[in-house]
Amino acid sequence: MSDIARRFPENPILCPKELNASRAGLEIVCLLNPGVFTFQNKIWLLVRVAERPAQKQGLISFPVLRKNGIEIIEIAESDPALADNDPRVINYQGADYLTTLSHLRLVCSDDGVHFYQPAGYPLLQGEGEDETFGIEDCRVSLIDNTYYLTFTSVSAHGVGVGLRTTKDWKRFEKHGMIIPPHNKDCAIFEECINGKFYALHRPSSVALGGNYIWLAESPDGIHWGKHKCIVKTRPNHWDSARVGAGAAPIKTVEGWLEIYHGANGKHQYCLGAFLMDLNDPSKVLARTEEPIMVPTADYELHGFFGEVVFTNGHIVNGDELTIYYGAADEFVCGAKFSVKEILSTLKYA
């Protein structure tokens, strides 16, 4: 497998121990998959912070959002109704629960490498019955001075796409769930095409079909329709089990360039790219055969869930593409790419 990423020598740039938990009684287990944007001449990350109670011997405990706040559920490890063979999800008495509760937190940087949490900005937390297991993996798109935040809303109802918008990162308008379960990995294009908003998203198929990337269009960025499947998994490839969009597509002279993640049957996550037509993004022109980034560094191979590189945020500066990514589902890292080099790796249909 190929790898053309130039990783930050400072990686990981954020670790769980470097931030404080949102409340007493919880600990930060993972920092994951930040949305990325510029604001007030700084680079900002909207980091997914995954928390849980400190674990006690013989017990598994995890938090769930209720109307009155966070409830801690404790289950004996010996309980025969418990299935806990995945560090991310447990099943108890036939129902699935996440082992952690995620919220979104803002950090910023003057140099794009050293980040800190500024005062005066709120945590973005789950609200309502569709977000009782938290909100995750936000993509940030800037359109006409408004930031569109698409994120994964998680609850016992399933996994869907939520939307909030803001202009100042202190006041947010909530638009509810814009794509119902099971769906995630939603990235809105940062400009309209022929008067329409476009977004990539990923329905999850239980039986027929698969975990493919779809395109949707909208008159207003809130109400979505005309869904079309545009990128599928490939048997015996690095992206054989699932594919999903990264951040907003990058406009180039050759087309809309999308960095995406793919995983195989062993749950190893890599990054690749595909190219869409500038005037009709439902037309996929080219795609990488091999990944452009493979988990090889120790912090990508070993962590809460190893062998993972996963991005939903980047900064474009001419030919330089700076991708911020989650490594091993525990750390936040950075890497640089050349847009031209990525384009040169594409194989046209």
Q: CA angle at residue 343 from 342 to 348, to 5 degrees? A: 125
Tell me which of 11 and 156 has the higher pLDDT.
11
Q: What is the spatial distance between Cα 299 and Cα 121, in angstroms, rounded to a whole number?
A: 29
Mean pLDDT computed over 49-70: 86
Give yes or no for residue 1 having a pLDDT over 80.
no
Interval 241-254 mean pLDDT: 98
Residue 296 near residue 309 (C-beta atoms within 8 A): no
Amino acid at site 17: K
Check whether 25 has a pLDDT greater than 90.
Answer: no
> Which residues in 176-190 are b (16+ Cβ under 10 Å) and which e?
ebbbebebbbbbbbb
Cβ density class 199-236: b for 16+ within 10 Å, e for less: bbbbbbeeeeeebbbbbbbbeebeebeeeeebbebeee
What are the tens digits of pLDDT across the range 116-129? 999 999 999 999 99
What pLDDT, on the 0 to 100 scale, is given for residue 208?
A: 77
- Is the Cα dihedral 111, 116, 119, 120 positive or negative? positive
Residue with the two structure tokens 């008159």 = 219
Average pLDDT, the chain: 94
Q: pLDDT band for position 206 (50/70/90)?
A: low
Q: Rounded mean pLDDT of 209-220?
A: 96
Report the relative pairing of strands 197-203 and 213-218 from DSSP bridges. Answer: antiparallel
pLDDT in tens, 141-157: 999 999 999 999 999 89
Query: How many whole angstroms separate alpha carbon 44 and alpha carbon 23?
Result: 23
Mean pLDDT of 236-256: 97
Q: Does 234 score more than 80 pLDDT?
A: yes
Task: Decide if pLDDT at 272 tops 70.
Answer: yes
Interval 75-104 mean pLDDT: 86
Burial (0-12, 13-18, 19+ Cβ within 10 Å), 75 = middle
